[in-house]
Amino acid sequence: MYLSATGWVPPAESGPQGGLWRNPDYRYSVPVPEPLPDDGPDWELVLDRLAMVEKSTPQEVEHRIRGRLLDVANLCAAKDLVIEDAIPLTAAVSMVRDSWIMLRSCATTSLGARPHIAGNYRRSADDLIDLVRMAHTRRGSFIIPIYMPVRPPEEEPNQIIGLETAPPESGERRVMRTFAQSLAIIGSVVEPEPEPSANTVQDLIYAGVSHEFAAGLTRILKNKSVAEFAANFEWATLAGPAPSTPRHVAIPAAAAARIERLSRRLKSERPARGIEMLTGPVIGVQRSDDDTGGVVTIQTVRAARLCHVSVNVSRERLDQALDWMKQRSTALVSGRIHRVGANLFSDSRDSIGLFAHEQLFQPDG
């Protein structure tokens, strides 16, 4: 339920007409009838009251309630003069077609880094893309809302002393996070001079950027009616913690030439061999009995299969990883991965770092 997911506390006792819900962050309580059909006057009253308390509008509150299991990317093609009612048809076609190509490529790279997909999209990734819906366009610089239905996380009971956990990330959420992460990191490397270094291009690949993604973005930006390509992300409230990727990303049309050159580099690039680089959210932090360090576990994908990879870490890195877990940041594990019993481990201590969206924190080891 939306109220529980956003910090509201249910009434200790409910009467036949419902009860008062309260939130520690607000001064007011909100009466909520039971049952509450979403097509009657009581529904409108509750929306009005929540909007007043949350300093929002009833329409925005209703959008959040109905979207509690939807990740949303509001894609925007903007020009210097705001386009409210119309956009050239060629620009609209490019927005829809190439945004879909970008999202489809991210679905494949969310299951393993690929600088050039070359038509070999993963079937399981395409199954996730089949879930995506496009809502009606909105006024204001031609905004296209893209909806990804997401599953609520399956939380596992925490029965181990000293272990702190976070909900796992669904495949649908991983696709949308990869899309947001790819936009953010490509936007950060196309503006400064000189051209991205070889190491920076590798960082882009591990973030989820591919030749297909960069080429699709280039085609959108090269349209004369587009001054920038922007995306605003809204994360489903009931699908686990929201990732720490930027909620708004804007890439100017002036960057089209640099992104086009980057797409050509990605077409001939190859992932670095030898040491594996795996990314994903931190889902487990366990302190050692002597409190000198512990084990950090990320949820990631290896050989196109969902898995957990753990790293033995120092106390300092353990504390950092706990913050990353709480903030739902993307972490990076580098090293040679080996199996210990039923678990996968990196062979290097402290070989985990924060995969930032504007720069890459290189792990030790």
Taking only the tens place, the pLDDT of each residue in 119-178 is 999 999 999 999 999 887 776 667 888 999 998 887 665 566 678 899 999 999 999 999
Kind of pairing between the strands at 248-252 and 228-234: antiparallel
Q: Does the N-terminal peptide bond of residue 192 adopt cis geometry, omega within 30 degrees of 0?
A: no
The answer to whether 184 touches 249, Cβ cutoff 8 Å, is yes
**What total of structural domains would you count in the chain?**
3
Residues 210 and 110 in one domain: yes
Nearest to 351 by CA among 336, 338, 337, 333: 333
Query: Does the residue 45 lie in any domain?
Result: yes
Q: Write down the mean pLDDT value for the chain.
A: 85
197 and 144 co-located in one domain: yes
What band does 118 get if pLDDT is binned at 50, 70 and 90? very high
pLDDT in tens, 228-262: 999 999 898 888 889 999 999 999 999 999 999 99
Kindly report, residue by residue over 78-88, the tens digit of the pLDDT: 765 555 567 78
Both 196 and 246 in a single domain?
yes
Phi-psi region of 151 (alpha: psi -120 to 50; beta: other; left: phi over 0): beta
Residue 364: inside a domain:
no
> Which domain CATH number covers 334?
2.40.50.140
Out of 46, 66, 86, a domain closes at: 66
Amino acid at 273: R
The reply to whether 79 and 44 lie within a common domain is: no
Helix (H) or strand (E) holding 335: strand 330-335
Q: Give yes or no: residues 24 and 98 share one domain.
A: no
Q: What are phi and psi of 193, to 5 degrees?
A: -95, 155
Planar angle of CA 183, 187, 190, nearest 5 degrees = 135
- Residue-number span of the structural domain to which 239 is assigned: 70-159+167-268
* 143 and 263 assigned to the same domain: yes
Query: How many alpha carbons fall within 13 Å on the CB side of residue 255?
Result: 24
> Does any domain span residue 363?
no
Question: Is 147 part of any domain?
Answer: yes
Q: Are 240 and 170 in contact (CB under 8 A)?
A: yes
Instruction: Classify burial at 331, counting beta carbons within 10 Å of its beta carbon; exposed 0-12, middle 13-18, buried 19 or more.
Output: buried
- Judge if 128 and 216 occupy the same domain: yes
Residue 343 covered by a domain: yes
| Domain end marker among 24, 41, 66 | 66
Q: Are residues 8 and 122 located together in one domain of the fold?
A: no
> Looking at the domain assignment, is residue 362 inside a domain?
no
Instruction: Please check whether residues 232 and 149 belong to one and the same domain.
Output: yes
Distance of CA 276 to the CA centre of its chain: 22
60 plus 79 within the same structural domain: no
C-alpha–C-alpha distance, residues 157 and 13, integer Å:
27
| Other beta carbons less than 10 A from residue 358's beta carbon | 10
Domain shared by 192 and 296, yes or no: no
Question: What ranges make up the beta strands (E) of 167-242?
Answer: 228-234
In a domain, residue 361? The reply is: no
Q: Is residue 119 part of a domain?
A: yes
Choice among 29-38, 112-121, 149-158, 323-332 with the minimum mean pLDDT:
149-158
**Same domain for 85 and 19?**
no
Backbone φ and ψ for 11, nearest 5 degrees, come out as: -65, 145
